[in-house]
Amino acid sequence: NLPALRAGIEAQLARYPHFRSIQVTDRDGELRWLPTTVNVDNHLIRPTLDPAAVAANPDKAVEDYVASLSTLPMDRSQPLWEFHLFDFPTSEATSTAAIRVHHSLGDGMSLLTLLMACTRSAADPTRLPAMPPLPTRTGAIYQRPRPSAGVLAFLAWVWSFVVLAWHTVVDVVGFFATILFLKDPHTLFKRVNHAETQRKRIVHRRLSLDDVKFVKNAMKCYRAKFNMRKCVARSRTDAQG
C-alpha cells in the first residue's frame, strides 16, 4: 500500500532531524548536518527489473538487485535513506522492500524499531503491526528447568555470576591477545588471499534463534555470543568438510 507507506514515512521517519538533513563539509573539512526539504517520493524507488528474470526466479532477482546496491554510492544531495520496493511475490513474501540507510542515521535495532513505527496493521490501520507468534517447539532442549529453592539454588545463582565474571575476563584477555599476536582460524567465512577489491554479495536468509541455541548446546559453547558465532562457523565447516 504505497499511499499508506508514504503517509507513515512522512508522519514518523521524515520528522527526525537526521532523516531530513544532508551531510556537508564545512571550511575545516569536517562533516556536519544541514537541514533540507524532504521529498518522500524521491526516496521511494520502484526498480525496473528484467521481467524474464523475475518470472524465472524472483528471489534471485531481488538478491541480484540488492547486491548491486552495495557497489553504488548513495546520493548525498538528499537525506541518506532509500526504500526500494518490489511489487511481485517471492518464496517468503507477497512483496519486498529493501531499505538502504546510511549507518550515521542509526544502528540496526533502532532503525528496525523506527521502521515498524512507520507502518500500521492491515487489519486495523489505527494499530501498530503485531509480530507473528513464535512457532511451537517440542523436545527436551526446549523445556525450561523448574525453579528450585533453598541453599543449593542460592549457591547455583552465585556460582553463575562467578562463571560469568571468569568468562568475561577470559574473553577480554583473548581479545587483546588477538590484537597483539593471535590469529583467527581460517573458516569458510574468512578466505585466504581474498582481494579487497572483489565484489561482495549480500544474501539474506532467515535463521531461528532456537536453532542457533541448539548448535551452541551441541558444540558445548556456554560462553558469550562471541563464542556462539565461532561454534556456528565451526559446525558449518565440519558439515561441509
Quick count: other Cβ atoms within 10 Å of Cβ 177? 10
Distance, CA of 146 to CA of 148 (rounded, Å): 6
Distance, CA of 104 to CA of 79 (rounded, Å): 11
Q: Are 79 and 36 in contact (CB under 8 A)?
A: yes
Active-site entry in 84, 102, 103, 204: 103
Distance of CA 30 to the CA centre of its chain: 29
Q: Residues for the chain: how many in total?
A: 241
The answer to whether residue 102 is catalytic is: no
Distance, CA of 60 to CA of 134 (rounded, Å): 27
Q: Are 92 and 60 in contact (CB under 8 A)?
A: no
Question: Treating both helix axes as pointing N-terminal to C-terminal, what angle do 225-240 and 209-218 enclose, rounded to 10 degrees?
Answer: 80
Catalytic positions, written as ranges: 103
